[in-house]
Structure formats: C-alpha cells, structure tokens
Structure 1
C-alpha cells in the first residue's frame, strides 16, 4: 500500500515519530542503545514531536541540545546508517510528497552532522561521504 498524503501537521508528525521509534525500540543494532538510555519513552516522544514540528514547520517549542545527548553514546557510522534506514522506511510507508522528502533530507543532514562532530570530538579524521 502506497502512502497517499504528505506530512501536513502535528498529527502527521506524531504518527511519524511513533512509527519510527516503535521500529527503533525493536531494532537489533540501535534498539539496545536507545532502550538503555531512554527509561520512559513518553517524555522522549513528546520532545521528538516538538523537535520535528520545529524542524519541518518552524513551530517554536523545542528546547534542548540533541548533539549533547548523543555525544556520550557508543554510536558510529553503522548506527547512523541504520537510523536513517528506519527513518526513511517509516516516512515512505506513511507519507508521500514534498514535506516527506524534506523530512528525509533533514534527517540525512542531521545524521551527517552528528557523525562528523562525533568523529572530530573523538579525534578521528573526517571522512568524506558522497
């Protein structure tokens, strides 16, 4: 079944975030990392609704420093790759359109930025990802 509508409002963001993190929690690679750090999922999900609402629609309400929360985690390229696969699968299963494409582009940009910053912070040479 193909997605029939684009991401248009907070309700769609909630559907996206819930679907994505349901996959994350059960994923063999990244699930254990998230499940170890996030003891109560509801507050995290609420924060992610606000985050993606700000990222996609410019709606104020998100506070926090996502990179600082990820910096101490044992995550590498493979984790970011898997995160993107799960995110893109979720978007594609639920939505189609310009905003859905924008969400995937924003996620890819964030993953690349986080990975680059982590590599720099850990003293690893920067890698060019094409």
Structure 2
C-alpha cells in the first residue's frame, strides 16, 4: 500500500523539478533578441505594416538626398536622407509608387517613392 502512494508522489516531484529547471534555464538566457526590440516606437509602427522583415528584393537610391519617409506620401515626415546608390531592401511594394524599405546602412525602416529608386 505504501508503494502505491509513493510512485505518484515521485512522478509529481520529478515533473515539478523538471518544470522549474526548464523555467530557470529560459530565464537565465534572457528574452530572445528580435529586430523590433531595439527599435523606437516610430520604427515599430512602420514595421507593423508588413508581415516580414525579409527583403523581397533590393534596390538603390536614385539620387542624393532621397528622403526615407514615415508613411506613403510626400506630405509625410522624413526619417533620413539617403545618398545616391544607398542600398535598400524592399519589404513591401504597394505598386502605387511607394515601397516600405529597410536601409541597412542607417538601420531604419521607412517609405520611399519607387520612381526614385533603381532596381
């Protein structure tokens, strides 16, 4: 009779120790680093418009001073100005003249007019 009670308690104790060990290991490693963790709130809002951070294709800035914008439109604020030839990774091309891009040299995401980039 004593052995019947002992086995379930042993299993329960083993599972508790295993669970606590895995939880402790995950906590010791810290949170997983994601690209969006290092971004400010504006960059996170811009990136929220896409489902991937993997560029679909690449292009280059077509002229010096090409503005990287907050949204689609010339009325949108500028995040940065890019020199001619700056490589950009295109995440979203809306086919209406604007593309959401990642600029590795600036480590920024934003919108550019597709008439001003060279594919």
TM-score range, shorter chain: under 0.3
* Greater percentage in strand: 2
Q: Larger RCO: Structure 1 or Structure 2 (Cα < 8 Å, ≥ 6 residues apart)? A: 1
Normalised to the residue count of structure 2, the TM-score between the two structures is 0.27
> TM-score under structure 1 normalisation?
0.25
